[in-house]
Structure 1
Amino acid sequence: MIIRLFKTNQVTGLVFLLIFQVLIYLNAFLHRLILIDRPIHSALFEQIPWLPITYPWLSALISFIFVLLQALWFNYFIYSVNILGRLTYLPAFFYILIATVFPENLYLSPGLLANFFLLAGMMGLWQIAHAKQLPRPVFFTAIAFSLASLIYSPVLILLPWFFLALFTFARSQFRIVLVGLIGWFLPYFYTSIAYLFFTDISVFFHDFFIAPFGLPDYRLNLGIIEYMICVWLFGLFIASFYHYLHTTHFYKVVQKRSLRIWGMMLLLLVISAAFYNYLQLSHILLLSFPLATFFSTYFLHIKKYWVADLLTIFIISCLFVLQFSYF
């Protein structure tokens, strides 16, 4: 009977979907499930006082809207790929039914926010399975799963399954797997650069890699951020040589697409650095290196790859000089 209600028409199905979700949230409030304080497994939001503690009604309202949007997005995806035939809101009904089984989805939480990127990653995997040119969908799908794991740490358990899917869909092409690795690494890389504004790199290493997994508490006083940038730029340099040896768009996808997405964010960070007196010159320089590589991608339009390569070599050399310089 319930399934028939959701298969009648668009308006009736949406009305019953809203009524069903309202009843679930009212039941959660009656049993005070939303007011229970639970641990937050998130690298980004570990220190943020979440709304369930201070404003539970507002948190539940935001959660209600987010779950509904995710259900409608999932419903659109199922309908667009024609997995279950022509349905109305039946996939959305099952999404809400399953999502609200977990109390963490009944209030604003990192897991609920990560679900948006998991849905985007799921759609990306479907595109990978049917795409003729794989680098671009693989790259953006890896970014989606990486952002989900950055927001909600337990999503990292999907990392081996993601690359298993890549080996299945991409016919074990090393180039595709490398694009996926770079896409997964990018959000962590640029988040670490942004994190440099607010704390020291040893605190970043502890908060992002030690505390979420319960590892022994120790601090490293190394310039990890510099080495991460060096490895990333060196990878771009190697990728450019790969472009010379193969008639593919691998270098263009990896360098141009990735750095164009995050380049504007880094530009804002560098501009904002001018308003903070406590920042050292080395901080601003470190932020300018990815920007320099980002601007070098515009040489791709006139096919002067050697200019971007020379600039990359210059940046890598400056990084090694920074290791022994005092500001």
Structure 2
Amino acid sequence: MIGQFRSLNFINLFVLFFLVYILRIGLYVQLPESINTGFSEVGNRLLISQSDTIFTPFTNVTLAAIVVFIQALLFNRIVNTFNIIGKSTFLPALVYIVSSSVFTPFLFLSPPLICNFFLLFMVYRILAPSKDMAFITTMFDLGMVTAIGTIFYFPFIGMILILWLALLIFRPFNWREWIAVILGFCTIIFFLGVYYFWNDKLAAFYAIWRPLTSAFPIFVRIQLQDYIVLLPIAIGLLLGFYHLRENFFKSFVQVRKTFQLLFFIFIIAAFTFYLKPDYRINHFHLAVIPVSALLAYYFLQANKKWFYEPLFLCIIGFVVYFQFV
């Protein structure tokens, strides 16, 4: 399968669409009676009364599959446009779809999944070439995007650090660009605050930011059997890191900087879970983009077919199997 997706073959689009639903077959067979997706929090934040069961389980899973498929194509376009892995292929889309299906909660439509649209847009705008004055505008826009993403899913506020890290990695220091990030973010938050004020809910507006005062947890309870599915992915990531290290200084400067940015996205996505009091595993949807980039890099660089093909099939097998157990 990896060999098939190493080329830009139009038929791969149909295979990808089919694969999205194959990876959800266990869920379609055993649909839950109801799904608590977390969208009620978005409604509460916008002072709109909304139930978490706005969609039936079947509709929710189907819409999530369509969203993942669209995001995979967008991610694939970004990777190919900026030559991140060294060749134009459908591997990024393939790996993105698989990575977005690792855990059963990933298969539902949820705020973190929607926030990946914002994150993809941010990565694209950061990598897209622009002139100095235009980049100030870009940072202002991305500050607003981060604020909108924060309204959808509060831990997304951590991505404001990504914008500053991107400035450190890609740009010479320009204080206007750094300030533009804050101004863009505060613009959306200001209008949100005015909206709360008009509705006489200013105390609720202050409560939105309370998680920022939470202490980082020292202990996190982990059920190891729930994470066995990550074993083949971890192997792929380690091998991808090995190949990246081998070729790091042979790559274009832009590619090296891009992988540094993706690394920081992974770190921030991994460590902002504590900003949500009722933490759910679907938070780690935010880490799918950097994980997919590194896995795609490995599967493109790997030359031992007898190993990388079974490894990928093992990942798919684990994903489907653990939906039934």
Question: What is the TM-score when the length of structure 2 is the normalising length?
Answer: 0.57
Q: Does 1:109 align with 2:101?
A: no
* Whole-angstrom CA distance in 1 between matches of 2:9 and 2:145: 30
Q: Which residue of 2 aligns with 1:120?
A: 121
Report SS of the residue matched to 1:64. Answer: helix
* Partner AA of 1:51 in structure 2: T
Determine the structure 1 residue equivalent to 2:151: 150
Deviations 1:147-201 (A, max 9, x none): 2222111122233333222233332221111111111222222222233454421
Per-residue deviation, residues 258-296 of structure 1 (Å, max 9, x unmatched): xxxxxxxxxxxxxxxxxxxxxxxxxxxxxxxxxxxxxxx
Which structure 1 residue ranges, 5 or more long, are not aligned?
216-327
Q: 1:62 to 1:95 in 2, by over 3 A?
A: same
For each residue in 1:56-108, what CA deviation from the matched residue of structure 2 results, as whole angstroms up to 9, or x when unmatched? 11111211111111111111111211223443421111111112224443222
Structure 1 stretch displaced more, 67-76 or 29-38: 29-38
Q: Distance in 1 between matches of 2:67 and 2:141?
A: 22
Runs of 4+ in structure 1 over 6 Å off: none
- Shift in CA distance, 80/168, structure 1 to aligned 2, threshold 3 Å: closer
* 2:14 alignment counterpart: 15
Distance 1:39 1:124, change over 3 A: same
Shift of 1:55: 0.9
Deviation for aligned residue 1:30: 3.5
Task: Give the distance between the partners of 2:155 and 2:184, measured in 1 at CA.
Answer: 19
Equivalent AA in structure 1 for residue 111 of structure 2: P
Distance (whole Å) between structure 2 residues aligned to residue 162 and residue 34 of structure 1: 40
Q: Give the match for residue 142 of structure 2.
A: 141
Residue 205 of structure 2 is matched in structure 1 by 204
- CA distance in structure 2 between the partners assigned to 1:162 and 1:41 by the alignment: 28
Tell me: CA distance 1:93–1:104, structure 2 relative to 1, closer, same or farther (3 Å): same
Deviations 1:179-227 (A, max 9, x none): 1111122222222223345442122222x223x5586xxxxxxxxxxxx
Distance 1:114 1:33 in 2: 24
For the Cα contact (< 8 Å) 2:40–2:52, is it kept in 1?
Answer: no
**Aligned CA distance change for structure 1 residues 174 and 122 (closer, same or farther; 3 Å):** same
- Name the amino acid aligned to 1:190: F
**Where do 1:87-236 residues align within 5 Å?**
87-127=88-128, 130-133=129-132, 134-206=135-207, 208-210=208-210, 212=211
Greater RCO, CA 8 A, separation 6+ = 2
Distance in 2, Cα, partners of 1:66 & 1:135 = 30
Task: Please list the CA deviations of residues 105-153 of structure 1 after superposition, one character each: whole Å capped at 9, or x if unmatched.
Answer: 32221111111111111112213xx433221222222222222222111
**Partner residue in 1 for 2:266:** none
Which range is displaced more, 26-35 or 90-99? 26-35
CA–CA separation in structure 1 for the residues paired with 2:80 and 2:99: 19
Distance 1:79 1:181 in 2: 31
Q: Give the stretch that moved more between structures: 91-100 or 130-139.
A: 130-139
Question: When the two structures are superposed, what TM-score results if normalisation uses the length of structure 1?
Answer: 0.56
Say what the alpha-carbon RMSD is for the aligned residues: 2.9
Structure 2 unaligned residues grouped into runs of 5+: 215-325
- C-alpha spacing 1:57/1:31, structure 2 compared with 1 (3 Å): closer
Change (3 A) 1:111 1:199: farther
Percent of pairs with identical residues: 23
Q: State how far apart, in whole Å, the 1-side matches of 2:139 and 2:98 are.
A: 30
Look up the equivalent residue of 1:67 and give its one-letter code.
V
Q: How many equivalent residue pairs?
A: 210
- Are the structure 2 counterparts of residues 132 and 41 from structure 1 closer, same or farther at C-alpha, using a change threshold of 3 Å? farther
